[in-house]
Amino acid sequence: MSLRIVLIHAIPMAIEPIKYAFNELWPEPEIVNLLDDSLSVDRAKSNVLTTDMEKRFSDLGNYAESIGADGILFTCSAFGPAIGKVAYNLTIPILKPNEAMFEQALNTGHKIGMLATFEQSIASMSKEFCEVRNSLSATGSLDTKLVEGAMEFLRQGNQTKHNELIAKTATTFKHCEVLMLAQFSMVSAKSAVFRELNVPVLTAPEAAVKKLRGILMQ
């Protein structure tokens, strides 16, 4: 019997990138997608994670476990504390969207950049980066920047403009040794960013799939 991996999304644009990563790196598991895009809508309106949002994450995690999930991967990067509470209350492996990418970045270079297209994710991801850095006893620094307008272009179906904006903003990170793309939905810009910087460009879906496979296949 194949493993069942439940993916929990807050935006529909995250589904295809993680689907592609599984197809390329670990096609064997049975993948189940749960989408609640009201989460990203409500998070964009709030500077903090509300108790209601945390409860909705808890409900999604409990539902995933109830349908036989062997592991859960959240793809929504602005909800770290809520995901942490889900992981604390369940016994199956649960990954935050970017923890594997952070580990990879810290093992790759010291001057680390991160581009984001969802403003509310930057503060929570920066905090998570510091937590991962401390757990690894690493010394890397983090420089972040919001790519304004890119997410809206992607919502409108204009991937080309989305990628162009990300690549243009990436040129301000030439001092970095490695660059991370914060959102799962940014994967399509990876090649364009690499052409601008010629340094390792890391994406969350690829790193997450590799880590989850390592956990569940050991």
Q: What is the pTM of this model?
A: 0.92
* Domains assigned to the chain: 4-97+206-216 (3.40.50.1860), 99-203 (3.40.50.1860)
pLDDT tens series, the chain, 218 aa: 789 999 999 999 999 999 999 999 999 999 999 999 999 999 989 888 899 999 999 999 999 999 999 999 999 888 888 999 999 999 999 999 999 999 999 999 999 999 999 998 999 899 999 999 999 999 999 999 999 999 999 999 999 999 999 999 999 999 999 999 999 999 999 999 999 998 999 999 999 999 999 999 98
Spatial distance between the Cα atoms of 152 and 204, rounded to a whole number of angstroms? 20
